[in-house]
Homo-oligomer: A and B are copies of this chain.
Amino acid sequence: MTLLEFLQSIQADLMLDARRFNTDFLDIAPRTYPAGSAINRQGDQSTKTVIVASGWSYISRHLSNGTRQIIDTPLKGDVLGLPSFDWGASNSLTSVSDITVYEVPSQTLRKALEQDANLGMHFSRIAARQHAIAVERLTSVCRRNALERTAHYLLELSERLGGIAVRRYDCPLTQHEIADTLGLTQIHVNRTLRELRERELVSFRAGSVEFLSRQKLVKLAGFDNGYLRYNWPSQPLRPNPAHKPAAGQAPSA
């Protein structure tokens, strides 16, 4: 199996058990960390790319004033530390639950990139999506209040986990971690979640997120899932029957 096929399979079908794949010959090691591990620390000179197989974690940056900002919570299929992204040096990766990741040495990636032009395009799409997520969060933090922002975030997580059909999902993030993600305080996240619950929009209690009225929530948050779509090219560099443009999800907003 090529690295490209591996990436495509882990990302195309989120229901698959990642361990089904024989990745030995790819020089990719699946590795498990317990909850609360520092998989990468800001400042590390790491030279590996990490692909999330299962579990929750967060990417964070620590500021000189003592605070931290959570950049994103990568989910199954997300790729961290793309080639040329000097990622490990400036970001920490901490597991929230037990987590399984594939760690790809830079050398392996370099070779694979030389051999397969489509792989570069694939990484480019992944990078584009991650950038779109960061830009959407920036927009959210600047232009939406706490209620809209939290609603938007919970909707984004649901779509990234499995699409618009998801009615509820487990989320092990603490209110403090959500606060550090959305630029709020833990206390205000608490009040905001209460209001979302009292308005019968979403309920987030005991690690379980349940949508009560997804439609109203989408409207409140001004949520448009377009930015989460992988932008498959209409014509791959070489024939590639695996993916068509139509593979994207239908908009929910």
Cβ–Cβ < 8 Å partners of A134 in chain B: 131, 134-135, 138
A90-B143 contact, Cβ under 8 Å, with A117-B114, A127-B131, A130-B131: no
Please give the distance in Å from A88's CB to the nearest CB on chain B.
11
**Number of chain copies forming the complex:** 2
With a cutoff of 8 Å between Cβ atoms, the chain B residues found around residue A84 in the complex are 121, 124-125, 127-128, 231, 233
Nearest 9 pairs between A and B by C-beta? Answer: A142-B183, A84-B124, A86-B231, A85-B128, A64-B222, A69-B139, A84-B125, A138-B138, A67-B143
Interface residues of A in 62-77 (CB under 8 A from B): 63-65, 67-69, 71
Q: Give the residue name and chain of the B residue nearest to A231 (CB).
A: B86
Instruction: Please determine whether B143 and A142 come into contact, CB atoms closer than 8 angstroms.
Output: no
Bound: A222/B224 CA distance, A: 34
Please name all residues of chain B whose beta carbon is closer than 8 Å to the beta carbon of A110 when the two chains form the complex. 237
Separation of A110 and B141 alpha carbons in the complex (Å): 35
- Sort chain A's interface into a size bin: 35 or more
CB closest residue in chain B, given A223: B64
In the assembly, what is the distance between CA of A137 and CA of B140, in Å?
13
Among candidates B68, B135, B142, residue contacting A141 with C-beta atoms closer than 8 Å: B142
Check: A105 CB closer than 8 A to any chain B CB: no
Q: Decide if A38 is an interface residue (CB 8 Å cutoff).
A: no
Interface SS, A side: helix
**Contacting pair A141 B143 (CB below 8 A):** no
What CA separation (Å) do A141 and B181 show in the bound complex?
A: 12
Contacts of A237 in B (CB 8 A): 110, 113-114
Mark A48-73 against chain B: 1 for CB-CB distance below 8 A, else 0.
00000000000001011101110100
Which of A63, A121, A222, A224 is the most central at the interface, judged by chain B CB atoms within 10 Å of its CB?
A63
Residue on B nearest A226 in the bound complex, by CB: B90
Assembled-state Cα–Cα distance A125/B137 (Å): 22
B residues less than 8 Å from A229 (CB atoms): 86
Please, how many angstroms separate the alpha-carbon atoms of A138 and B70 in the complex? Answer: 10
A208-240, CB < 8 A from B: 222, 224, 226-227, 229, 231, 233, 237
